[in-house]
């Protein structure tokens, strides 16, 4: 039973570390082009709810109706492509949030598009926002990693003691 509980605890710790690591690392573009974002507003509801974790992937072929994440000024926005405009060998996009009555002001250049929506996971965006704070990093990564390392060190020390005891008993038995 003790080994089963240790296995469960290790599995939980490894899962927390993996989710935290993947989520934290994909805030920057990965070699495969995936990134994660936390949805902070309801402009895409009910399609994408506030607090969702949004996973996007770089995509060069964007069509009308696709949901994209783009940067406008210093803001990251996720909206649906409402219209595509081809002018002077360049493509511009007009976007609109599903919950908004009007299209967004201005047009978005291809270079400003960070990616197309691949997946949304409700409520996990709140965890991403928390993870990107110092307390979130400590609670979600440093503490579980420290517990996991301490458990492994304890296991190694116990194994060394068992081996030492076996050798001592073997030596006493041979005398």
For 67-101, the pLDDT digits (tens) are 999 999 889 999 999 999 988 888 899 999 999 99
Q: Quick one: pLDDT at residue 24?
A: 57
Percent of the chain with pLDDT over 90: 38
pLDDT tier, 150 (very low <50, low <70, confident <90, very high otherwise): confident
pLDDT tier, 20 (very low <50, low <70, confident <90, very high otherwise): low
Q: Which sequence spans correspond to the domains of the chain?
A: 1-27+133-175, 29-131
Give CATH superfamily name and number for 29-131.
Umud Fragment, subunit A (2.10.109.10)
Q: Any residues with CB less than 8 A from the CB of 122 and at least 6 apart, and which?
A: 49, 51, 52
Provide the mean pLDDT of the chain: 85
Rounded to two decimals, what is the model's pTM? 0.68
């Amino acid at each position: 039973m003790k080994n089963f509980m240790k296995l469960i605890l290790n599995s939980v710790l490894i899962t927390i570390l993996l989710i935290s690591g993947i989520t934290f690392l994909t805030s920057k573009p990965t070699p495969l082009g995936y990134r994660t974002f936390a949805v902070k507003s309801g402009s895409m509801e009910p399609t994408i709810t506030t607090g969702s974790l949004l996973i996007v992937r770089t995509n060069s072929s964007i069509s009308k109706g696709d949901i994209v994440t783009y940067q406008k000024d210093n803001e990251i926005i996720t909206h649906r492509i409402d219209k595509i405009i081809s002018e002077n060998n360049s493509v511009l996009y007009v976007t609109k949030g599903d919950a908004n009555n009007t299209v967004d002001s201005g047009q978005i250049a291809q270079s400003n598009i960070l990616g197309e929506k691949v997946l949304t996971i409700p409520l996990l965006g709140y965890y991403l926002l928390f993870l990107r704070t110092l307390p979130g990093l400590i609670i979600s990564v440093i503490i579980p990693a420290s517990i996991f390392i301490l458990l492994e060190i304890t296991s190694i020390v116990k194994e060394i003691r068992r081996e030492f005891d076996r050798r001592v008993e073997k030596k006493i038995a041979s005398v």
